[in-house]
Structure 1
Amino acid sequence: METELLNTDLLHNAQSWVVNNQELIIRYTVNMAAALLTLIIGFIAVGMLTGGINKVLKARKVDSTISEFVTSLLKYGLLAFVIIAALGRVGVQTASFVAVVGAAGLAIGLALQGSLSNFAAGVLLIGFRFFKAGDYIEAGGTAGTVHSVQIFTTILMTADNRMIVVPNSKVLNDRIVNYSKESTRRLDLVIGVSYNADLKLTKEVLSRILDEDPRVLKDPAYRVAVNELGASSVDFIVRPWVKSEDYWTLKFDLLEKIKNELDANNIGIPFPQMDVHLIKQDQA
């Protein structure tokens, strides 16, 4: 009986509180619904807006490293604005919230100086355009094809399809070698022949090989010359100019053809040897 009376009192008190605070409940319910709706619509709008901007940048043939960096930066900035707007709908004082976020951001910034330096380095990399997506570069102690420049990192893909993530600050603070920046490259080969070889014939053979390959550019002209009289060989330099995309295939093909042609013309290619001399001593 006492339990039933207690439950009745609790129910009566709850009903009284609901009736007395009906306006407050309705207001907070509406505000919560509005905040949730703001988040949903805001997130959808941000996704559509950044996606549209990315498509426009691609349609205008803007380099993907720039378009991805800009859209990522814009996306996170707009999402932060949507979250603050939703909190304002709930009743949170956004001015105080922004001040608190600013103070927290300062403290976090001091703790995450490395990340901020990576962000700043990313802005500089995009601004100065040292490389673009698709370029083969050497930077940050590694080498690979540029996939994208993110807010904090640069993504490289190696020839064997490995992904390498390099912090932007490391890329910027280290030397950057861009092998794809120019349309042409010079291929540098050193070919050693024996001292017994006919140097004139050797030069003619090497020059003929270059003349017969259509991938070797006529301008600038190639260079074939004796570079050094080494310890066991006469070293020729073979320096043709080639389109950047033909660099590696031409190098591999030339090395194979040079070996075959030198063999066909009886021009020896020396290799390291060791002569051992035995001295016999008389027994005492």
Structure 2
Amino acid sequence: MLTKYTDAVVVYASEYGLKIVAAVAIFYIGKIVVKRVTNVFKRLMNKAHVDDTLVKFLGNLIYFSLLIVVILASLNALGVNTTSFLAVFGAASLAVGLALKDSLSNIGAAVIVIIFRPFDVGDAVDVAGVHGMVEEINLFSTTIITPDNKIVMIPNSAVIASNIVNYSKKPTRRIEHKLLIDYGDNLKVAKDVLMKLMQDEEKVLAEPAPFVAVSELGDNGVELVLRVWVNNADYWDVYFAILEEAKLAFDENKISVPFPQMDVTIKNKN
């Protein structure tokens, strides 16, 4: 009788022993690999200065998604038919996806922002018709502070769907002004005055060199365009300074700035 049970144990052990060992090994090793992959992903996002909330959420999402794959692989090695599990999991995923499609689209858009990095926190941008500085990128929206200190929250799906202009991505920017002078003024003197004030401005970069030229012979006067390159941080200081210095220099050199005028004639019927 004892021999009968012993033989049964040997048969079951020989049949399922290796499967159990393989399943445990797949689960144990897979869990280690999943944890390391998740940690690598978190480190990459932290280096990219991604919001901590988003790092934790995506880290957990990746961890549990990969862990489910490892568990299914372990069950499959054990000889369990995982087809029914996959069917139930797929149906549940579809139901959740339909119920949360808008929220998931924002999360997906956040992932795209992380991968392609069109902007970072602290960048000056134009996004979805809003101009300002990026304060935060979270799971569902991007927060922007406008120049007049308003907080605007834009859904991430709208961010990806719109044109994105990033003013902070490059270290330098070009300033361009268009100024009118009267047809009766000395064009060469006006150009020399503008070139000198650009060269005297210490925040203006020497390369690319400042540029001034006639851009249009308009109805009200001669239009001059001037262009200078500055470091990104100096953009607005130089932008306003050049306008003020140009007006003062024009006044000093008797160069007039024309503007549209209308002559009105009053007729006396008597």
SS for the counterpart of 1:240 is strand
Please report how far the alpha carbon of residue 132 of structure 1 lies from its aligned counterpart in structure 2 after TM superposition.
1.1
Give the corresponding residue for 2:9. Answer: none
Give the corresponding residue for 1:119. Answer: 107
Please report how far the alpha carbon of residue 183 of structure 1 lies from its aligned counterpart in structure 2 after TM superposition.
0.6
- Determine the C-alpha separation between the residues in 1 that align with 2:54 and 2:172: 29
The number of aligned residues is: 216
Letter in 2 for 1:205: V
1:173 partnered with 2:161: yes
TM-score, normalised by the number of residues in structure 2: 0.70
Letter in 1 for 2:48: D
Give the corresponding residue for 2:31. Answer: none
SS for the counterpart of 2:261 is coil
- Determine the C-alpha separation between the residues in 1 that align with 2:183 and 2:253: 15
Letter in 1 for 2:213: A
- For residue 171 of structure 2, the aligned residue among 183, 208, 215 is 183
1:65 partnered with 2:50: yes
- Determine the C-alpha separation between the residues in 1 that align with 2:205 and 2:110: 37
1:74 partnered with 2:74: no
SS for the counterpart of 2:121 is coil
Letter in 2 for 1:74: G
- Determine the C-alpha separation between the residues in 2 that align with 1:76 and 1:120: 12
Evaluate the alpha carbon distance shift between residue 213 and residue 72 of structure 1 in structure 2; reply closer, same or farther with a 3 A threshold: same
Letter in 1 for 2:191: K
Deviation by residue 1:217-251 (Cα, 9 ceiling, x = unmatched)? 11011110111111111110010011111111111
SS for the counterpart of 2:108 is helix
Give the corresponding residue for 1:148. Answer: 136
Letter in 1 for 2:129: G
Q: Is the contact made by 1:185 and 1:242 (CA closer than 8 Å) also made in structure 2?
A: yes
1:252 partnered with 2:237: no
Structure 2, unaligned runs of 5 or more: 1-38, 65-85
Please report how far the alpha carbon of residue 57 of structure 1 lies from its aligned counterpart in structure 2 after TM superposition.
5.0
Give the corresponding residue for 1:211. Answer: 199
Q: Is the contact made by 2:53 and 2:139 (CA closer than 8 Å) also made in structure 1?
A: no
1:129 partnered with 2:117: yes
Give the corresponding residue for 1:91. Answer: none
Give the corresponding residue for 2:127. Answer: 139
Give the corresponding residue for 2:19. Answer: none
- Determine the C-alpha separation between the residues in 1 that align with 2:107 and 2:223: 49
- Determine the C-alpha separation between the residues in 2 that align with 1:104 and 1:241: 56
Map residues 222-241 of structure 1 onto 2, 5 A cutoff. Answer: 222-241=210-229
Letter in 2 for 1:70: V
Please report how far the alpha carbon of residue 134 of structure 1 lies from its aligned counterpart in structure 2 after TM superposition.
1.1
- Determine the C-alpha separation between the residues in 1 that align with 2:208 and 2:46: 31
- Determine the C-alpha separation between the residues in 2 that align with 1:65 and 1:227: 44
Letter in 1 for 2:50: T
Higher deviation after alignment, 121-130 or 270-279: 270-279
Letter in 2 for 1:251: Y
Give the corresponding residue for 2:209. Answer: 221
Letter in 2 for 1:264: E
Please report how far the alpha carbon of residue 112 of structure 1 lies from its aligned counterpart in structure 2 after TM superposition.
2.6
Q: Is the contact made by 1:66 and 1:126 (CA closer than 8 Å) also made in structure 2?
A: no
TM-score, normalised by the number of residues in structure 1: 0.67
- Determine the C-alpha separation between the residues in 2 that align with 1:277 and 1:184: 52
Structure 1, unaligned runs of 5 or more: 1-52, 80-97
Computing the radius of gyration over CA atoms, which structure comes out larger, 1 or 2?
A: 1
Deviation by residue 1:9-65 (Cα, 9 ceiling, x = unmatched)? xxxxxxxxxxxxxxxxxxxxxxxxxxxxxxxxxxxxxxxxxxxx8xx959x972322
Please report how far the alpha carbon of residue 149 of structure 1 lies from its aligned counterpart in structure 2 after TM superposition.
1.6
Deviation by residue 1:147-175 (Cα, 9 ceiling, x = unmatched)? 22211111112222222111111111111
